[in-house]
Amino acid sequence: MRVSIFRDADGRTDVEARPEPALEPMPDWQGLPLTGVRWQRILWNESIDIQLVEIAAGGHFVMHSSPAVAFCQVVRGSGQLGLPGGASITYRGPELYIFLPNSRHDWHDITEDTLLAVCLVAQP
């Protein structure tokens, strides 16, 4: 997926078009092992953190949460979004999930390679 970043440059809009980012393996999250997860941080500062996260079929991303608001677009793929207590929601991209601060969830039983476009927005 090509990523284009638009910026104001003295009253004109410049665009930086990047070819598909090279995703890097993400072996763990806060010391907990992940399976089949790769990612690339696209843009970040003190307010936002924009990432692409890919979970391969058969992969798993552990139960986690963030103090930020997480805008999570399932670009493609399918599997289960897990909630505390064992509840699951079947997803099939494209879908949009918005996780408010500290909303715990996981990604499991991935049946199709899944690409997530994630934007974490820090809370004041």
Task: Give 22-121's CATH code, choosing from 2.60.120.10, 1.10.10.10, 3.40.630.30, 1.10.760.10.
Answer: 2.60.120.10
pTM assigned to the model: 0.93
For 72-98, write each residue's pLDDT tens digit. Answer: 999 999 999 999 999 999 999 999 999
For residue 52, pLDDT beyond 90: yes
| Overall average pLDDT of the 107-121 stretch | 98
Give residue 103's pLDDT.
98
Question: Cα separation of 124 and 106, whole Å?
Answer: 25
The answer to whether 114 and 55 are in contact (CB under 8 A) is yes
Number of Cβ within 10 Å of residue 37's Cβ equals 24
CA angle 76, 79, 83 (to 5 degrees): 120
Q: Single out the residue of 22, 30, 85, 77 nearest to residue 55, CA to CA.
A: 77
